[in-house]
């Protein structure tokens, strides 16, 4: 059983999860790339994952059998488990709680050789519908305070399986970084009665120097203070605090923009490892004026070193204005 | 000229530093390991670095020539530059300032083949004396608010040169993470009139389950909520807020403990890449009751992925109690 522990000084939480190896000899440096025959995410291998929670599948196909285009399954090695009561405990000066939460995997395609950007816009749209449906469902569990959706593509971005997938984790607490971001947005709103993200969008669309690509519903921008080279944020043009309120029309526009953006990044940077994360408001309260959900995408081109770990202060060699120019001038792949 | 930029939502600062390459083609995946003949840190290559600021050298040797055992030089590709006035500017909704600061390199040995743990305790002690002397000197510059000392060992820990070295960066602002840690310690002190680190040390020395190694002046502990497997903190047993107040006797004890700890980690984890960072109080105010300087050491065994980047919440497969047992039972190398 995993455990949540809080650092008493900085206030950060960690998940101590011993589901995977923890001895010194367990930390190998080479990626564990299972051959296709053993990939648990491939079509025909449905029995190698826990039973599916959600799927898009052919009309007459049965759950956990062939005939699907997308599946959501519980993570077989979850960082947090859904069973049990949440127990908060003291430990002398320290605080901890048992590892209650949900940890799900979105298998984005039945085919091993595809990556997200090579899927059709319709298939990419299904990935974003799956996120929405799962968050809506997890929000019904009163133990959960926050839901994070993220994707790791490539071994150096933390992916342990190559088959295209993303993950959803529901947490019993709102992480400190999220609280910090929410707090910053709330302070701005209290001062100006405007959403800071809406103001950023207005300035960026006016200046037009850090916009990478846009359509009727979304803009992809190189943020003003990017931690990483080619970091890109995708924001809905209309104010909305919670990802799970995204409409079907918006999902179609998002799928189109994601495909366009990934193709540009993959052309410019030769298929870099990357992570994306959906930043959205905490679960219990749906809808607020000050926070604006968005996606942050970071290509993993540089390694974080002692300076970053010691200060939380990033050194980035690429000005976002330059990154935007590089990405804008590329034509997306056909 | 580099530039400091602030993210208006989270409040984090980044350094946009174009001294090194910033185009897509500049992000190679292989380490740039210059052969020994071209290593700028080797004895005999003193002309390949900017002039030295501090050194330990033989009595009759001259600066920037042979005969040294340790040199401190300005970084040839600095993230921040020492020349100029600090100018803070607005940029619509955003904030920025020019990249004023200091960026120095501590060359820990004249010999290319050595690593910190293979140096004698006397030589390691000189590294920590160099840190102290440089912080004391940089503190005289009123533009600087905070000084971070860090070491990256190994390419995957962010080292771009193999020759043993560490770095010192003086910043014109106190980073947000540091403020957060200081704030947590201050709140605890205001409530209890005790230093939280002193309380942690008392509980850890009593429990004796997360102590890795200790001596008369320092203890190395596996922290209660470690972000990374085998993360280890080194704390002085006596309360002290500022690293630059370390005594000569303490430096000898620290050198001995660092050598012991690194040998254990390098034996257990087969010479892992690692970072260490000195966490100390900001420069202008020297000496307080609530903060306790310490060193945080993180072996780089796992990669950070979307979950960590999205939440600041870490998943760690190794309980610190297990890590302490593994490291305690090893005999340090002779």
DSSP per-residue codes, B123-156:
HHHHHHHHHHHHHHHHTT-TT--EEEEEEEESGG
CB pairs under 8 A between A and B: 277
For the ranges A172-176, A188-192, B168-172, B276-280, the lowest mean pLDDT is seen at: A172-176
CB-based contact, B11 to chain A, within 8 Å:
yes
Residue B21 is nearest to which of A188, A306, A317, comparing CB atoms?
A317
Token readout for B154 is 């190994």
Q: What is the mean pLDDT of residues B19-34?
A: 65
CA distance A60 to A37: 26
Please list every residue in chain A whose beta carbon sits closer than 8 Å to the beta carbon of residue B157.
303, 305-306
Strand ranges across the sheet with A314-316:
A314-316, B13-16, B3-6, B94-98, B88-91
Q: Where are the domains of chain A?
A: 31-176, 194-272+288-328
Q: Which long-range contacts (CB under 8 A, 24 or more apart) does A183-192 make?
A: A184/B8, A184/B9, A184/B10, A184/B11, A185/A290, A185/A291, A185/A292, A185/B9, A186/A290, A186/A291, A188/A290, A188/B8, A188/B9, A189/A289, A189/A290, A190/A290
Contact indicator for B18, A317 with CB cutoff of 8 Å: yes
3-class DSSP assignment, residue A6: strand
Rounded to whole angstroms, how far apart are CA atoms B284 and B48? 34
3-state secondary structure of A330: coil
Whole-angstrom CA distances from A210 to A184, A279, B97, B257 are 22, 20, 19, 49
pLDDT of residue A28: 61
Token readout for A324 is 């935007």
pLDDT of residue B48: 95
Q: What's the whole-number mean pLDDT along residues B154-173?
A: 92
pLDDT in tens, B202-246: 999 999 999 999 999 999 999 999 999 999 999 999 999 999 999
| Domain A194-272+288-328 classification at class level | alpha beta
Residue contact A306–B152, C-beta within 8 A: yes
Beta bridge partners of B100: B81
Assigned architecture for domain B3-15+30-176: 2-Layer Sandwich (3.30)
User: Is the CB of A18 inside 8 Å of chain B's CB atoms?
Assistant: yes
> Which two structure tokens, joined as six digits, stand for A330?
């590329």
Interchain pair A20, B93: CB under 8 A: no
- 3-state DSSP: chain A helix, strand, coil percent, rounded to 5? 30, 25, 45
Q: What order do you get walking across the sheet with A3-6 strand by strand?
A: A88-91, A94-98, A3-6, A13-16, B314-316
Domains A31-176 and A194-272+288-328 share a fold: yes
Structure tokens belonging to residue A188: 């701005």
Q: Find the mean pLDDT for residues B160-171.
A: 94
3-state SS string for A187-231: HHHHHHCCCHHHHHHHHHHHHCCCEEEECCCEEEECCCCCCCCCC
Q: Which two tokens stand for residue A233?
A: 């944020």
- C-alpha–C-alpha distance, residues B101 and B79, integer Å: 8
CA distance linking residue A219 with residue A238, whole number of Å = 10
- Beta strands B94-98 and B314-316 are unpaired
Question: Locate tokens 């980044």: which residue?
Answer: B14
Q: For residue B302, how many C-alpha atoms fall within 13 Å in the half-sphere facing its CB?
A: 24
Cα–Cα distance, B145 to B170 (Å, whole number): 7
B285 reaches A (C-beta below 8 A): no
Query: Are A252 and A121 contacting, i.e. CB atoms less than 8 angstroms apart?
Result: yes
Instruction: Name the strands in the sheet holding B232-236, side by side, starting at the edge strand that comes first in the sequence.
Output: B54-57, B68-74, B102-107, B165-171, B146-153, B274-279, B294-299, B232-236, B218-221, B211-214
Retrieve residue B129's tokens.
């004396």
Q: What is the pLDDT of residues B39-66, one digit of tens each?
A: 999 999 999 999 999 999 999 999 999 9
CA of B185 vs chain A CAs: smallest distance (Å): 6
Residue of B20, B27, B316 lying closest to A16 (CB–CB): B316
Q: In chain B, what residues touch A11 (CB-CB under 8 Å)?
A: 180, 184
**8 A C-beta contact, residue A107 and residue A48:** no
* b/e code A113-141 from CB counts within 10 Å (16+ = b): eebbbbbebebbbbbbbbbbebbbbbbee
| High-pLDDT (> 90) share of chain B, % | 77
Determine the Cα–Cα distance for residues B256 and B261; give it in Å rounded to an integer.
Answer: 9
Residue in chain B nearest A170 by alpha carbon: B307
> Residues, chain A, total?
334
Whole-angstrom Cα distance, residue B190 to residue B174?
A: 21
Other CB atoms within 10 Å distance of the CB of residue B22: 19
With an 8 Å Cβ cutoff, is B215 touching chain A?
no
Environment class of residue A77 by beta-carbon count within 10 Å: exposed (0-12), middle (13-18) or buried (19+)? Answer: exposed
Reported as a single tens digit per residue, the pLDDT across B102-151 is 999 999 999 998 999 999 999 999 999 999 999 999 999 999 999 999 99
pLDDT at B29: 52
Burial (0-12, 13-18, 19+ Cβ within 10 Å), B187: middle
- Provide the token pair at A329: 């001038």
Contact of B112 with B170, CB cutoff 8 Å: no
**Which residue positions in chain A have pLDDT lower than 70?**
21-22, 28-35, 332-334
What are the tokens at B204? Answer: 């850890």
Superfamily name with CATH number, domain B179-273+288-328: HIT-like (3.30.428.10)
CA–CA distance, A62 with B112 (Å, rounded to integer): 64
The complex scores an ipTM of 0.90
b/e B120-136 (16+ beta carbons within 10 angstroms → b): ebebbbbbbbbbbebbb
Cross-strand pairs, B70: B56
Tell me what the pLDDT averaged over chain B comes to.
Answer: 92
B19 interfaces chain A, CB cutoff of 8 Å: yes
Supply A78's token pair: 């979850």
Tokens 């209290």, residue located: A190
DSSP at B12: -
Report CB contact under 8 Å: A306, B22: no
Return the CATH number of A31-176, one of 3.30.428.10, 3.30.420.40, 1.10.3720.10, 3.30.200.20: 3.30.428.10
- 3-state SS string over B45-111? CHHHCCCCCEEEECCCCCCCCCCEEEEEEECCCCCCECCCCCCEEEECCEEEEECECEEEEEECCCC
């Amino acid at each position: 059983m995993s455990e949540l522990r809080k650092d008493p000084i900085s206030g950060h939480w960690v998940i101590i999860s011993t589901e995977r190896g923890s001895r010194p000899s367990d930390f190998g440096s080479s990626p564990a790339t299972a051959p296709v025959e053993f990939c648990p995410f491939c079509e025909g291998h449905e029995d190698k994952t826990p039973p599916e929670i959600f799927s898009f599948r052919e009309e007459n196909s049965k759950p956990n059998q062939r005939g699907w285009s997308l599946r959501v399954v519980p993570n077989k090695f979850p960082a947090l488990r859904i069973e049990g009561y949440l127990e908060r405990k003291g430990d002398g000066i320290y605080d901890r709680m048992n590892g209650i939460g949900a940890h799900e995997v979105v298998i984005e395609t039945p085919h091993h050789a595809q990556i997200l950007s090579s899927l059709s816009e319709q298939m990419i749209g299904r990935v974003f519908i799956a996120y929405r449906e799962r968050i809506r469902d997890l929000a019904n569990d009163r133990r959960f305070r926050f839901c994070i959706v993220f994707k790791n593509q490539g071994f150096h971005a933390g992916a342990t399986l190559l088959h295209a997938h993303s993950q959803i984790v529901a947490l019993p607490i709102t992480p400190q970084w999220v609280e910090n971001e929410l707090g910053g947005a709330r302070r701005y709103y209290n001062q100006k009665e405007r959403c800071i993200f809406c103001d950023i969008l207005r300035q960026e669309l006016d200046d037009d120097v850090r916009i990478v690509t846009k359509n009727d519903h979304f803009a992809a921008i190189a943020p003003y203070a990017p931690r990483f080279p080619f970091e890109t944020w995708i924001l809905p043009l209309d104010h909305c605090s919670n990802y799970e309120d995204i409409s079907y029309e918006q999902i179609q526009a998002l799928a189109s923009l994601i495909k366009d953006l990934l193709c540009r990044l993959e052309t410019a940077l030769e298929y870099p490892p990357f992570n994306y994360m959906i930043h959205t408001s905490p679960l219990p309260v749906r809808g607020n004026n000050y926070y604006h959900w968005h996606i942050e995408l970071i290509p993993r081109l540089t390694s974080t070193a002692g300076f970053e770990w010691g200060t939380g202060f990033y050194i980035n060699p690429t000005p976002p204005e330059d990154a935007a120019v590089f990405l804008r001038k590329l034509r997306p792949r056909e």
